[in-house]
Chain A
Amino acid sequence: MKRFDCIVVGSGATGSIAAQALLAQGFSVLMLDAGQRDLDFQSLIPERSFMDLRQSDPEQYKYFLGPNLETLGPQPGEGYAHLTPPRRALFKEVQRFLRNRSETFSAVESLAFGGLGSGWGLGCNVFSDSELQQASLPISEMRDAYQAIADLIGISGSADDASAYTHGGLSGVQPSVPLNPTAAAILQSYKRQRSRFQKQGFQLGRPALALLTEAKDGRSPTTLRDMDFYSDAERAAWRPWILVDQLKRSPGFSYIGNSLVTRFTERDGVIQVHALNMQTLENDSYTCARLILAVGAIGSARIVLRSQDDLTTQLPLLCNPYTYMPCIVPARIGKPVPDRDMGLAQLVLFHDRDNSHTDIAQASLYTYRSLLLFRLMSEMPLGIRDARIILQALTPALVIAGIHHPQQQSTLTYLVRELDATAPTGDRIAISSAESEKDYNNREHRERCFIRALRSMGAWTIKRVHPRRGASIHYAGTLPYSTQEKDYSLNPDGRLHKHKNVFVADGSGFTFLPAKGLTLSLMANAHRVAKAVGLTMRS
């Protein structure tokens, strides 16, 4: 049996970065990955703009509704209804292999090649020093790691009031894409009353996105096809699978797909990793000197609990509370929409209560078009025909604001492993989640502040939607960082306490979850953990 220096579990944003950093240090890496692929859609979607396809492609229903019109059929579960058919491929086989049970929490996990990173909204935000401290992340190491990740993936953004909250002091940032006219109207209103908004703690600007506006490393700049929710074929958007495909060409890197890592054992410093072959359901095992788990906070907790045969311990779980609000900018009703556009966030509005970068909530503003009108019609208190007519007039003025709130550690949300004889792995994760009255009041107050601020910027909120907890898909904190050697926690370098050679490179260690989109920070953390692993290998 070949022994590898390192086994990395998972091909998502953190696994791909950890593998890349270890390879760069000269170690051999085996990536074990469920790696479910759905390449059908790539060949279905022509490389043309949304408007062009809408007007002329008779086969468009295949990618807008699904080849078998499955969007119109029974939904696989809550939280999936608003996903486009190509994005649903992210959840292939999840219900079979990653069982969850909860009355109060919708856990979203992926077994896709490239993980949940393939559906990432591309928002890049560096955590402030205060946020890093609260999350128990080392400030200077993280700053270096942020820059390394920015250099690798390519980030576009602007220098404006929001940039201290988005790309911070990162260098090499490419210019932002052109601003949609509806978003431009909001930004203009903000600029007119800038000092007033800033006194209230609001900062508005362009988001930093992992989206190229200039060519980089063989990837092309975005052509603004407005097909961001359907296809990444032009590779302007950075996705983990792009990096893993590159790594596959590197000597020293091996990849095994259809492999669901179930548990590990560590004896005399050697790790044995056990995996279930997802096609044959047979068990395989692999040996390595270092194991890096990078399958997300829930996934890594599941593997660690299973490795300990633990059915009783409750592990904490952090998740950003999330609310979305459709808004109308009346000044834009009846105005023309641009032919070229993008579906990603146009603007980000930060609410930093005392301008100290300590307690921040974030609203991302999206202009609505490429998700098609039918998704909104069913939500409206109007007949379908009237809803269509009204939405036709409102589309140029429609903005969706998605608000993320920060999340402190709490005993009210936790997960526990339990047996499930019907699951191929024989178990499942049960999640219990509740919100304290204080958190609820804070969130309500903050959302009312956002509503007032948006109204002053010309965007009127029509409705506030509170999806079930878990809908933000921002999870962390199941194996929190600790300087004490205790069970189910990580040392500051990401090593699992009471183990010598098992590391966790995803957000499991975070002891606080800032509201800012966390993917860039997850990748920076994976980079620094992989560097720390490299140091232990050399010593």
Chain B
Amino acid sequence: MPQTRVEDYEPRFFGRYLLGHMPSERAVNMYLRASRSFDTLDDASRRLMSLAYRYPWLLGAIDNGLALKGKSSSLRFRIWAMSAILETCPEYFSYFSPVTGIRAALKLIFAILRAPFRALIGIIVVSVNE
């Protein structure tokens, strides 16, 4: 577990997963503001969150697993909320704007190929933690 308080670490953790690097302080603060109205994490989500903190590379698999086996999970909701916040930050416009040309095809193929493997691992991890 990192040294910073969990609630401060959470948006950075999610932001890093979603963008591939640390999100801006502004995005972090927006998440913290929004999180005041979030429900507390359910038990399964809390366990998955601890697991992801220990093994950050596992978050992608957990996220894909929840999409198939826990759509209403509070952990998935929080990742989604961070994504919504990042989408409305002009500094991340290029992460959410349409990609064109061969880059679009490559990104699409890569994501489609990767998703089933992540989902498979994710489903196992989510099922074990239920």
**A binding-site residues for B, Cβ under 8 Å:** 54-58, 60-61, 64-65, 68-74, 333-337, 369, 372-374, 377-378, 380-390, 392-396
Contacts and interface: CB of A to CB of B under 8 A. Distances in A.
Given A60-B88, A71-B84, A392-B107, A334 B101 contact: yes
A383 B98 contact: no
B112 A390 contact: yes
A333 B88 contact: no
Contacts of A73: 34, 37-38
Nearest to B82: A384
Contacts of B77: 378
Contacts of A380: 67
B9 interface: no
Nearest to A73: B37
B34 A58 contact: no
A328 B52 CA distance: 34
A388 B18 contact: yes
18 contacts: A64-B88, A65-B84, A65-B85, A69-B37, A72-B81, A73-B37, A73-B38, A74-B37, A334-B99, A334-B104, A382-B67, A382-B115, A385-B60, A386-B114, A388-B83, A389-B108, A389-B110, A392-B95
A148 to B, nearest CB: 43
Interface in B99-119: 99-105, 107-108, 110-112, 114-115, 118-119
A394 to B, nearest CB: 7
Contacts of A374: 80, 83-84, 87
B11 interface: no
Contacts of A56: 90
Interface of B: 17-18, 26, 30, 33-34, 37-39, 60-61, 63-68, 71, 76-77, 79-81, 83-85, 87-90, 93, 95-105, 107-108, 110-112, 114-115, 118-119, 122
B111 to A, nearest CB: 4
A337 B104 CA distance: 13
A68 B101 CA distance: 37
A57 B87 contact: no
A334 to B, nearest CB: 3
A396 B17 CA distance: 25
Given A57-B90, A396-B98, 20 more contacts: A54-B90, A54-B93, A65-B88, A69-B37, A71-B84, A72-B85, A73-B37, A73-B38, A335-B100, A374-B87, A377-B80, A377-B83, A383-B64, A384-B67, A384-B76, A384-B79, A384-B83, A390-B108, A392-B96, A392-B104
A64 B87 CA distance: 10
- Residue in A60, A387, A388, A393 with the greatest tally of chain B CB atoms within 10 Å: A393
A511 B104 CA distance: 50
A72 to B, nearest CB: 5
B25 to A, nearest CB: 13
B27 to A, nearest CB: 10
Given A72-B34, A390-B108, A392-B104, A384 B80 contact: yes
Contacts of A394: 108
Contacts of A385: 17-18, 60, 63, 83
A381 B88 contact: no
Given A54-B90, A56-B90, A69-B30, A389 B37 contact: no
Given A55-B90, A61-B88, A334-B101, A381 B108 contact: no
Q: Which of A60, A68, A384 has the most CB of B within 10 A?
A: A384
A54 B95 CA distance: 12
A386 B104 contact: no
A383 B115 contact: yes
Contact of A333 (B68, B71, B79, B105): B105
Given A389-B107, A390-B112, A372 B88 contact: yes
A381 B71 CA distance: 8
Contacts of B107: 389-390, 392-393
A387 B87 CA distance: 13
A384 B110 CA distance: 15
Contact of B111 (A74, A333, A386): A386
Contact of A69 (B34, B68, B80, B103): B34
Contacts of B81: 72
Closest 3 CB pairs of A and B: A334-B104, A383-B63, A73-B37
A65 B86 CA distance: 11
A393 B87 contact: no
A347 B65 CA distance: 37
Nearest to A62: B88
A71 B114 CA distance: 30
B90 A381 contact: no
Contacts of B37: 69-70, 72-74
B38 to A, nearest CB: 8
Contact of B90 (A60, A69, A383): A60
